[in-house]
Structure 1
Amino acid sequence: MTLTQLDAVPPGLLDLPAARLGEVLPGPTLIHLPGRRTQPLFASVLLHGNEDTGWLAAQAVLEKYATAELPRALSLFIGNIEAARTGQRRLDGRPDYNRVWPGSEEAHPAERAMMQQVVDAMRARKVFASIDIHNNTGLNPHYACVNRLDQDFLHLATLFSRIVVYFVRPRGVQSAAFAELCPAVTLECGKPGTPGGVEHAAAFMEACLHLSEFPAHPVASHDVDLFHTVATVKVPDQVSFGFVAPDADIDFVPELDHYNFRELKHGDLLGRVRPGSPARLRALDENGAEIGDHLFDYSRGEITLRKPLMPAMLTRDEQVIRQDCLCYLMERIKTPA
């Protein structure tokens, strides 16, 4: 797995959609561009090949500054070009490009070495801040994620959205790797192609390029809705599932993806288990421990919540559920002083 590093945007690249980047780029590529302030902003796009908002936002910003100096140096990492060609999150049998950064628990040495190379290159350049731009498949608002609750991280996150999610799992994500170097955020920009996503991401990227430093004062509690991810929920591989699918082991309620960022109550219904099936959801806390029995009740053949929680990234996309997870469950937390 070879990382390509460039010091200029190749001719014609900004004219191409994500699916055609492979016509110009041989694979994952890190492009370093000069700017008025020399400490670079790092931006990663297309870590998931079916999430093109980041690339479209980068195109918009670079086209705007095609004949002008960038306010700050920019290092743009274009990730899973191969998966983007076919519009897939990742290729079957290949790793998720947002699970193989330093700190990963996955065994993909070639991809892990490449991501380490990216981190090392940006450490050497004294990276100013890091943004990783994503889409998701469920009905979610735009929000930012952080792996640390330091004030610089919260200032960067709230520049994008007042909704901020703090998480430490999954391991091996880009933002956690870069949190060792600089303030780092993951942006969740809704579904690909939905109105406003590209414009919001591009405006945020440009705001970061204009940012000279982070404010010294803490983020005010009334300026942020802060949540902590307490569990990652998965459907075990051997368990069949569906939506309005009474013959499946687990039949989720059809409106499940409408529950995102709603504060659900104890007893709220998520789905039903087929009579006679021992199927259970897996729920891992931030230490990797199984806590599903503390979160879900399966009495009467229903899957209900044992405590109030707020889900994010619930989706009806069965491939995404298999490749990633069903959702994350969160609790509201106080803003650190």
Structure 2
Amino acid sequence: MSDRLHQNANQPCAVLHQLPEGFLDCPADRLIQLLPGPTLFDLPGKDPRPLFISTLLHGNEDSGLNAIQTVLKQQLPRGLRRSLLLFIGNVRAAAQQRRTLPDQLDYNRIWPGTKIMNHPLVAMARWIFDYAACRRPIASIDIHNNTGFNPPYGCVPKLEPHFIALARMFSSYIVHFERPFGTHTAAFSTLCPAVTVECGKAGKESATQQAVGLIEACLDLQAFDNEIRAPDQIDLLRTYAIVKPPRDASISFDGQRADFIFRKDIDRLNFKEIQAGEVFGFVENDFHKLEILPGDGLDSPPGDYFDYVNGKILLNKAAIPAMLTCDPQAVKLDCLCYLMHRINLDGARLYSE
């Protein structure tokens, strides 16, 4: 089945105004039997200004689908409190319980602002963005899962009060990001307050319930506060560096021989303030080095975060990692981790005394 779908000549993805029979109980890996491909649902509610939700941009991250199914079961019989634009993304990858398939682009790198040009999925994302823009959404939520141990957290591209308020509805951990390019949330931040929420590991009921709470709160939302409430209860961080092994390098987490042998409990370091000298793993040869890419809006290299001493990979400055995982495939498709530092509400980095 092609990812480029046409309902008519001007519509690069399916648009449905009601749910197909069986949708509310359909697991992610069987959606391909109900939907023709990427699908935008436009569902009416008592308040016509919609909430936008995207889920399954990565096919193996199903907490968002489970959460919206839970909410719709509760609200549809008596009518949605607010109109809903719901985008169901990579149903082909979901059918195989994969993030993406080998012939696909990452569905969370195709949105306006992407560096990818002249691709049907990029055109589809632009069309969905324009469709939503005409409806003036009150907020946008993009729901994801992690493969490693992380607390629930929200990611925002802007530090404006409405964005912080939206993220705070989900978690006290809020990450300000400016890369990667082409994410759904970065694109929709030009339309409305927007957040990416990371719910923890897929398949966990706690991850689903965390997303349910946010969706319900947003469907009830009348307006955002113009001031940030209880700022001392927010743990605000910014991504400064993205860490990747070289594309052709082999990696392991179980001690098996590889170019990079990472510690098997590395994902337990997520959201902890790690000091210089922490061992991340080992390298087979001295010439193997991790790639450190900018995580903020600057194009200049962020500097080296690691030393390589007697085969050990050592953090050389304090940092707070996120999205560390022990899944080699996830590392290959995305990254080993993001390295963060705390910031204040003005965006200035906070340095430990």
Report the TM-score range of the alignment, normalised by the length of the smaller protein. Answer: over 0.9
Identity of counterpart residues, as a percentage? 44
* Aligned mates of 2:79, 2:320 — CA distance in 1: 43
Pick closer, same or farther for the CA change 1:290–1:239 going to 2, 3 Å. farther
SS state at 1:319 partner = helix
**Bigger shift: 43-52 or 281-290?**
281-290
SS state at 2:201 partner = coil
* Aligned mates of 1:195, 1:32 — CA distance in 2: 27
Pick closer, same or farther for the CA change 1:246–1:62 going to 2, 3 Å. closer
Q: Deviations over 1:131-158 (max 9, x none)?
A: 0000010000011000000000000000
* Aligned mates of 2:319, 2:198 — CA distance in 1: 20
Question: Does structure 1 conserve the Cα–Cα contact (< 8 Å) formed by 2:38 and 2:87?
Answer: yes
SS state at 2:340 partner = strand
* Aligned mates of 2:346, 2:72 — CA distance in 1: 36
Instruction: Choose the corresponding residue for 2:48, options 27, 38, 45.
Output: 38
Q: Deviations over 1:92-122 (max 9, x none)?
A: 1210100111111134610000000110000
SS state at 1:5 partner = strand
Paired AA for residue 279 in structure 1: H
Matched, 1:279 2:306: no
* Aligned mates of 1:295, 1:277 — CA distance in 2: 16
Instruction: Choose the corresponding residue for 1:50, options 60, 67, 75.
Output: 60
Instruction: Point out where structure 1 has 5 or more consecutive residues left out of the alignment.
Output: none
* Aligned mates of 1:164, 1:319 — CA distance in 2: 26
Paired AA for residue 181 in structure 1: L
Question: Does structure 2 conserve the Cα–Cα contact (< 8 Å) formed by 1:133 and 1:187?
Answer: yes
Alignment match, 2:89: 79
Normalised by the length of structure 2, the TM-score is 0.92
Instruction: Choose the corresponding residue for 2:250, options 235, 240, 245.
Output: 240
Alignment match, 1:253: 263
| Displacement after TM superposition at 1:278 (Å) | 0.7
Alignment match, 2:109: 99
Paired AA for residue 299 in structure 1: V
Alignment match, 1:177: 187
Question: Does structure 1 conserve the Cα–Cα contact (< 8 Å) formed by 2:286 and 2:308?
Answer: no
The equivalences for 1:130-279 within 5 A come to 130-245=140-255, 247-274=257-284, 276-279=285-288
Alignment: residue pair count: 335
Question: Does structure 2 conserve the Cα–Cα contact (< 8 Å) formed by 1:102 and 1:115?
Answer: yes
| Displacement after TM superposition at 1:20 (Å) | 0.8
| Displacement after TM superposition at 1:200 (Å) | 1.3
Alignment match, 1:334: 344
SS state at 1:95 partner = coil
Q: Deviations over 1:270-293 (max 9, x none)?
A: 11112x4410000111335444x5
Question: Does structure 2 conserve the Cα–Cα contact (< 8 Å) formed by 1:249 and 1:277?
Answer: no
Normalised by the length of structure 1, the TM-score is 0.96
* Aligned mates of 2:249, 2:77 — CA distance in 1: 55
Question: Does structure 2 conserve the Cα–Cα contact (< 8 Å) formed by 1:34 and 1:73?
Answer: yes
* Aligned mates of 1:315, 1:304 — CA distance in 2: 17
| Displacement after TM superposition at 1:312 (Å) | 0.3
Matched, 1:10 2:20: yes
Instruction: Point out where structure 2 has 5 or more consecutive residues left out of the alignment.
Output: 6-12, 348-353
Question: Does structure 2 conserve the Cα–Cα contact (< 8 Å) formed by 1:44 and 1:77?
Answer: yes
Alignment match, 2:324: 314
* Aligned mates of 1:76, 1:221 — CA distance in 2: 31
SS state at 2:100 partner = coil
Q: Deviations over 1:147-174 (max 9, x none)?
A: 0000000000000000000001110000
Question: Does structure 2 conserve the Cα–Cα contact (< 8 Å) formed by 1:282 and 1:290?
Answer: no
* Aligned mates of 1:268, 1:211 — CA distance in 2: 44
| Displacement after TM superposition at 1:87 (Å) | 0.3
